[in-house]
Chains A and B, each alone.
Chain A
Amino acid sequence: MSRPGTKRKVGVFICHCGGNISDVVDVKAVREFAGAQDDVVLATDFRFMCSNEGQERLQKEIKEKGLDGVVVACCTPKMYEELFRSKAEEAGMNPYLLEIANIREQCSYAHRHEPQKATAKAMRIVKGQVEKVRKLRPLEVKTAPIHPGVAVIGGGISGIHASILLANLGHKVTLIEKSPTIGGNMARSVKTFPTDDCAMCTLSPKMNEVYNHPGIDLLTYAEVKDAKRSPGKFTLTVEKKPRFVTDACIGCNRCTERCPVSTAKSPIQVSSEWDQGLAKRKAIYLPFPQALPQLWTIDADHCFYFQRGGACRVCQMVCPAEAIDYTMKPETVGLEVGAVIVATGWKEYDPTPLGYLGFGRHPDVLTQMQVARMLDYMGPTKGVVSRPSDGKPAETIVMVQCVGSRGAPGDPDTHEYCSRVCCMVAVKHASLIKKARPAAEIYILYNDLRAYGKGFEEYYAHSMELGVKYVRGLPGKVHTDGGKLRVDVDDMLTGRRLQIPADVVVLSAAMEPAPIDSILSSLHLDKTPDGFIKEYHAKINPTETAVKGVFIAGCAQGPKDITDSIAQAGSAAMSAAVFLGSGEMTLNPLVAEVDPALCRACDRCTEVCEFDAVRVDPDRLVAVVDETSCEGCGKCTVVCPTGAIGVRQFRKPQIVATIDALAPVAVSP
């Protein structure tokens, strides 16, 4: 029975699905039943609604009968809801007045041996959707123009690669890097597996390309503090930290040479981040020789001038270019872009909590990143892997795999996931050491040796030819007493217990995401349980995120090597380009909406919303939904005492109509 004055014209189209439905469900009976429902002006059946003919039929009836509601009874809406809606829209009906009645997957398929019951159920399902459609309102699909420009957060290889691609395509790119130089972790990698290319030699040209590219605005020593979303646009607040060194710097290095910090008697000592704590640096420094931009930076937290009230001005005094300016202040920059690529990379897991491995207790227990610095000819040990305790070259090296990775579920000190690259890193470092010093004894203690990529297995086999020893087993303990190291491990393949005296123990520590929680919350990004940024879909869409316009690349999304990082960065760049190129984005209309006449401004909806999508306007005293943030989950609709807030297409009366129609038919006794 319809309310007076609200007569609708609903058309019901029942698909046979070539027998998939009609072999079980009596579609003619359903058609007749549907035709008898209130407001249904047309009920018809057809062999394949999804075929061209079926769609034309749909469009023809919409036009001729002026339908303002359609139910297509067919397969699951996940298949063709979007298609039928777009066809309906072409025919002049609002697409959101169309609903699918799922009488295949949830009826004919599931009740093949009960055709009578399946037919009765199909009738109720169709009625349920008819009742819902009678209550549906046309929805306006809003679009918003997409602001030009991309912000790439993170200046490692992924960020660099994506920036170059996008800038070459003509997009305005702003690359934001937290540290004073771009390059990321690849710059520290010495050589890359399996090709043994010099990492810096392959990276440097790309760094230069970014630095010199007219289309890329490079902001280094800068951090994204906040991000606001509005339809088609991200507004980023970027804070540029002061270097206290101006562009006049000529790179002569005199300031660094003269800086008193970290010298033998200096009360202020700074460990070098670049050298992974194996060496010290000065307060004024260039991170590494090929750093870009080639600008020195004063670390104010460890500088005598800043820490001792202006006590020291040595760098300013010796600088021939007058490039030192202690008065520089942090600068806050607002940036408006249409897309963001998050390429914040990774950091190495700190194995200190794993006391049995001795990291942090004994100086000769190292991580692979530290060994990478040692293998650098320009590094703290001039290319020789040596014992930090006494500087002697290490003759016996034991590498331990899976440190911090593949841990027990629930263990608070380790991660459950596999960090993917550490096997190859160990193989690489072992091979490099062996080639430089064939007499060195190198053991790799492993659980599984993962050599999955192109050329990896061959590289690994070659390392065995070089004499690297592989022991299947992970150590029970690294003994650090008595000054010398000894690694106890059970060799699973031979069954023997080994006690290996080692000069240096190298831990293949896990890859962790770089600290990104502030960016995550500003951009409303999620994490997967492993702590990395959540991609849109693990299989089919690893570079988009649930936030339209935000893409991810590289190790920010999950552990991977340089090859895969570059591949993913390319994919992210392309996705971002396609997104920007479309010019406008459609806003999902199936989100929450507030009827201001019913709103009590009681704040219950704002309390439950996890997307910060609704707030109470303090002047108008009504709740207001931000349609770009609202995901349409409907939690708010349950706590709202007045029914002011509802999710379009899933409003309470619409769902209730479906419940009533599906309910068993009551017959008066």
Chain B
Amino acid sequence: MTEAVGIQVTLGPDGGASPDPALRVLTAEGCIQCNKCTFSCPVHRVDVLFSPRKVILQAYLGGADAVSERDLWACLTCGECQAVCPTQVPYPAFIRAQREKLLPAMERTAPCKHGGFKDVLAKIMAKPDLKQDRRAWIGDGLKVADRGDVIYFTGCMPYLDGVFSYCDSARIGKAAIKIMNAAGIVPVVANAERCCGHDAMWNGDRETYEKLARANAAWIRESGAKRLVTTCAECYSMLKYEYPKVVGEWPLEVLHMSELIEELVKAGKLKFARPVELTVTYQDPCRLGRHSKEYDAPREVLKAIPGLTFVEMDRIRENSMCCGVGAYSNCDAATKFMQQERLEEAASKAGNLVTACPHCRIHFSCYLDGRPVDPLPELKIVDLTELAAQALG
């Protein structure tokens, strides 16, 4: 999330700057205790005792450490609160800063779900001497290169299908390469790539995040590429907005796949020849939408696909409801109710829900793979890039 520009330093108890970095983040803007945040919070709708306003008050009165562990980790960092806050209190950034403070005392591991898989994967990718094989999932008929102008940043894609087996995440990547090849682009898929560090950063593991960021920055800079495109909203928000804070400004342009597709279609370099006769609705991912303010490119892409009937949900754009899991660290008993709520809304509009982030797709698919809280009409989850590739013909 882009932090508020010009963080003001709040006075601490002795009149000087508060030594608590988390508190400094929180009090950069003054909370007026209006409670709009609580009523927009998806977690609060399921767990009435969870309230961002209450957490802020606790922090103001007792310091950041007064916030309970449960409240600290229940937050999805989705940003719905900040989107409605009249004074723009940077709540997700505060949560992140507080997690960072407490992590060493929690002995190195945030409560990462799915058995800690993504967490340990990121830590392994943070090690310097790694010779990954990140192309095995690509398959025949798709062209990639070692050097070129465009990097396709895959993130965790080579590893996701091993654990999240109810979802074929590699399909997204194959679709992306197919689209780029069709437009005459042979993207670079590098074995030197690491996890972007999104989960590490949001869960407070700054050490791992910065190692990953520096490792990625090194090979990206060395590659000489001019553009970097990714199909993942999280990688996008990290590479575009967070990395410069750690590794300095990029010499290249960072794009989300939806932005690239929009550009290629408008420039006539990509033609959607085959109609896709589906009724779809669209989930604004937190990291692409609220965090990165990119609401339009995916919509332009959907409008450009022939045969598609696109129906918006009621809660969209900056009011889009989070898929229920933030940075893989807070999936719990409450999550299923959030996912039920959002999927009911989607199913009432269309038979297909389009996502622009592989993690939204994984989380929704995981819910549909288990037992829904209440019966749901038939709903398919499909990634935007996959859909666009289908329209290529």
Residues of A within 8 A of B (CB): 1, 3-4, 596-604, 616, 621-622, 638, 641-644, 652, 656
Contact = CB atoms under 8 A, between A and B. Distances in A.
Interface string B101-141: 00011110101011110000000000000000000000000
The 8 closest A-B pairs by CB, nearest first: A602-B370, A598-B332, A642-B331, A600-B336, A603-B371, A599-B333, A597-B333, A641-B114
26 contacts: A1-B104, A3-B106, A4-B105, A597-B332, A598-B332, A598-B333, A600-B333, A600-B335, A600-B370, A601-B370, A601-B371, A601-B373, A602-B366, A602-B370, A603-B371, A604-B370, A622-B333, A641-B114, A641-B331, A642-B113, A642-B332, A643-B113, A643-B115, A644-B333, A656-B109, A656-B116
B369 interface: yes
Nearest to B111: A643
A206 to B, nearest CB: 54
A598 to B, nearest CB: 4
A197 to B, nearest CB: 62
Contact of B370 (A1, A603, A656): A603
Q: Specify which of A638, A643, A656 lies most central, judged by the most chain B CB atoms within 10 Å of its CB.
A: A643
A43 B311 CA distance: 69
A639 to B, nearest CB: 9
Contacts of B104: 1
Interface in B347-365: none
Interface residues of B, number: 21
Nearest to A597: B333
Contacts of A604: 370
Nearest to A642: B331
Contact of B369 (A3, A596, A602, A642): A602
Contacts of A638: 115
A642 B74 CA distance: 13
A656 B110 CA distance: 13
Contacts of B336: 600-602, 621
B107 A1 contact: yes
Given A1-B107, A3-B107, A642-B331, 9 more contacts: A597-B332, A598-B332, A599-B333, A600-B331, A600-B370, A604-B370, A641-B114, A642-B332, A643-B113
Nearest to A3: B105
Contacts of A601: 333, 336, 370-371, 373
Contact of A621 (B111, B115, B373): B373
Contacts of B369: 602
A652 B370 contact: no
Contact of B115 (A4, A596, A603, A652): A652
Interface string B310-345: 000000000000000000000111011000000000
Name the residue among A603, A622, A641 with the largest chain B CB count within 10 angstroms: A641
A131 to B, nearest CB: 9
A602 B365 CA distance: 12
B105 A600 contact: no
Contacts of A621: 333, 336, 373
Nearest to B120: A656
A638 B371 CA distance: 18
B115 A600 contact: no
B105 A1 contact: yes
- The interface centre, meaning the residue of A596, A598, A600, A603 with most chain B CB atoms within 10 A of its CB, is A600
A115 B193 CA distance: 44
Contacts of A622: 333
B71 to A, nearest CB: 13
A599 B331 CA distance: 9
A316 to B, nearest CB: 56
Contacts of B109: 656
A652 B116 contact: yes
Nearest to A596: B333
B373 A644 contact: no
A622 to B, nearest CB: 7
A4 B101 CA distance: 13
Contacts of A600: 331-333, 335-336, 367, 370
A597 to B, nearest CB: 5
Nearest to A602: B370
Contacts of A3: 105-107
Contacts of B115: 638, 643, 652
